[in-house]
Chain A
Amino acid sequence: NAGVTQTPKFQVLKTGQSMTLQCAQDMNHNSMYWYRQDPGMGLRLIYYSASEGTTDKGEVPNGYNVSRLNKREFSLRLESAAPSQTSVYFCASKARAYEQYFGPGTRLTVT
């Protein structure tokens, strides 16, 4: 089992460029999440998907879109990157009443 995988690991974008962060899990979990981690702010939820076919906004959704492509995959898209989106992005998945499993993170810099 690979657990939760994320691609890419690192990315540098110019302001205004777009990109999609990919996340996949092989644990047959229903729920998947996207967080960003900034110094002093902890993990903040961007979007989540409680089950295949549903997505909901979290605490900081502005500037992002998501797609729950199937049960395994949950992608995060930045349509027009801004320097304020420089962060480390973590994807996670969870079975119903249990702990979240996190991917290795994507370090994104927007110049």
Chain B
Amino acid sequence: ILNVEQSPQSLHVQEGDSTNFTCSFPSSNFYALHWYRWETAKSPEALFVMTLNGDEKKKGRISATLNTKEGYSYLYIKGSQPEDSATYLCAFGLTGGGNKLTFGTGTQLKVEL
């Protein structure tokens, strides 16, 4: 069983704060690292898929970086808004893993006014 760890488990920030979370994954046999945003009572929605060491992706105020050699990825949110409140999941794909992903347990973000 692969170990994909996310920290922190939960986070409360004020509107306008910038924040970041970490995803740690095995550094060998890396294929892909995914980030998903999961709002309560909805389905997870993809934010980013990263496959190359040093990848940086950006979508609006949200960005992510990837370090495959040391096995971590950071997700950054700049100027958090209440609508950013959600659980952020990362998922790791292994080379030869048959297109399957192993998910972390997520970071639950709450942005308060």
Contact of A50 among B51, B98, B101, B106 (CB under 8 A): B98
**Residue pair A43, B98 in contact (C-beta under 8 Å):** no
Interface residues on A, range: 20 to 34
B100 at the A/B interface (Cβ < 8 Å)?
yes
Q: List 28 A-B contacts (CB under 8 A).
A: A31-B99, A35-B103, A40-B105, A42-B106, A43-B44, A43-B91, A44-B103, A45-B102, A48-B98, A48-B99, A50-B98, A56-B100, A58-B100, A59-B102, A90-B44, A94-B99, A96-B99, A97-B32, A98-B49, A99-B49, A100-B34, A100-B44, A101-B46, A102-B43, A102-B45, A104-B42, A104-B43, A105-B43
User: B51 to chain A: closest CB distance in Å?
Assistant: 7
Q: Which residues of B contact A (CB under 8 A)?
A: 1, 32, 34, 36, 42-46, 49, 51, 89, 91, 98-106
**A-B pairs with beta carbons under 8 A, tally:** 56
**CB-defined contacts of A96 to chain B, threshold 8 Å:** 99
Contact of A43 among B32, B42, B89 (CB under 8 A): B89
